[in-house]
Amino acid sequence: MKVMALKGRDFISLHDWSRDELEEVLSLAQWQKARLKEGIQDEPLKGKQLGMYFAKPSTRTRLSFEVGIQQLGGRGLFLSAEDLQLSRGESIADTARVMSRFLDGIMIRTFAHQDVVELARWATVPVINGLTDEEHPCQVMADLLTIQERFGTLEGIKLAYVGDGNNMAHSLMDGGAKFGMHVTVASPEGYKPDPGRVARAQETAERHGGLVEVLTDPAEAVRGAHVVYTDVWVSMGQEHEAEQRRAAFRGYQVTESLMRLAAPDAIFMHCLPAHRGEEVAAEVIDGPQSAVFDEAENRLHAQKAIMTLIMG
């Protein structure tokens, strides 16, 4: 399969990549996934080394990147916060320059988004954002792949996100806007997505025939949606706000009655981990409309495509 020349690019934010470039990721992910299902395992990254730095715990990010780089013929090195001198005050700049001498790519999953930007500034190999408090672009590429598989298109698809206006909301707005989707975020006052990011996504959506809007009423957001999406109410690092957040998000649980307002063929999505009985009812996430485990698997395929394009 002939692919677009994207070697050396960082993958930090969906906003930084054009629609054509993101379509290339999805197209390659579909092709690689199909070949893997047929028992064909290509190795375009044979001999390549991916450093995987985790300042936050992980299930899907760790598994998908580690398995993915192995399937592509390379090797992944797991690096926790305690493994590197960053924990003892070494600068991000020095760490980036040292890592670049040993590795062909770096994946980082951390708290502050600026740390990823700084790492990419000093690294001479591609940097992949595995998650920050502001964005989760790899997850959204897996989400877009899942939606495309289910509906055959992204253009015109209505996605309703219910809950915290967090990193997931930001990246879903960015990704949906690039593909002409209608993305509606329903969040309580005080927990809406960053206004600057909303305005940026709205401007992008206008150029691509889509729509991005932020509401307060979950029912209004979900009505007629093809995709109903939610995330946890209390993310890592917010444990001290748990009770306050649970009170604020009361009424924002995705229930069977809320799903009935969506389109008849609507699917439910969640980036996981999920707290049944909080942001989603067990009957929904474990029900026939749930696509969460297809979505989780697609982390592998979307990220393999990203690694192939920027490291290969």
Q: Was 103 annotated as part of a binding site?
A: no
What is the bridge-based pairing of β-strands 227-230 and 211-215? Answer: unpaired
Q: Was 298 annotated as part of a binding site?
A: no
Which is catalytic among the residues 109, 197, 226, 301? 109
Which is catalytic among the residues 133, 148, 231, 270? 231
Residue 19 is among the residues annotated as catalytic for this protein: no
What is the bridge-based pairing of β-strands 49-54 and 105-109? Answer: parallel
Query: Phi first, then psi: what are they for 158, rounded to 5°?
Result: -100, 120
Q: Look-up: residue for tokens 């993310």? A: 235
Q: Was 32 annotated as part of a binding site?
A: no
Measuring CA to CA, how many Å separate 242 from each of 13, 236, 282? 28, 10, 20
Residue 270 is among the residues annotated as catalytic for this protein: no
Measuring CA to CA, how many Å separate 237 from each of 56, 231, 241? 9, 15, 9
User: Among 38, 29, 99, 100, which residue's Cα sits nearest to residue 68?
Assistant: 29
Residue 75 is among the residues annotated as catalytic for this protein: no
Q: Was 28 annotated as part of a binding site?
A: no
Residue 299 is among the residues annotated as catalytic for this protein: yes
Q: Was 61 annotated as part of a binding site?
A: yes
Which is catalytic among the residues 15, 113, 136, 170? 136
Neighbours of 209 (CB within 10 A): 13
Q: Was 59 annotated as part of a binding site?
A: yes
Q: Look-up: residue for tokens 């991000």? A: 92
Q: Was 167 annotated as part of a binding site?
A: yes
Per the DSSP assignment, residues forming a β-bridge with 76 are: 50
Which is catalytic among the residues 139, 148, 253, 303? 139
Q: Was 35 annotated as part of a binding site?
A: no
Q: How many CA atoms lie within 13 A of 228 on its CB side?
A: 33
Q: Was 257 annotated as part of a binding site?
A: no
Q: Was 170 annotated as part of a binding site?
A: no
Q: Was 299 annotated as part of a binding site?
A: yes
Which is catalytic among the residues 32, 143, 270, 271? 271
Q: Was 207 annotated as part of a binding site?
A: no
Neighbours of 40 (CB within 10 A): 9
Which is catalytic among the residues 170, 245, 270, 299? 299
Q: Was 136 annotated as part of a binding site?
A: yes
Q: Was 253 annotated as part of a binding site?
A: no
* DSSP code for 280: B
Residues with Cβ within 8 Å of residue 107, at least 6 apart in sequence: 50, 51, 52, 53, 61, 65, 127, 128, 130
User: Among 251, 222, 217, 11, which residue's Cα sits nearest to residue 109?
Assistant: 11
Q: Was 109 annotated as part of a binding site?
A: yes
Indicate the SS3 state at residue 4. Answer: coil
Q: Was 137 annotated as part of a binding site?
A: yes
Residue 231 is among the residues annotated as catalytic for this protein: yes
Residue 121 is among the residues annotated as catalytic for this protein: no
Task: Tell me the binding residues for carbamoyl phosphate.
Answer: 58-61, 85, 109, 136-139, 271-272, 299
Task: Tell me the binding residues for L-ornithine.
Answer: 167, 231, 235-236
Catalytic residues: 109, 136, 139, 231, 271, 299
Task: Tell me the binding residues.
Answer: 58-61, 85, 109, 136-139, 167, 231, 235-236, 271-272, 299
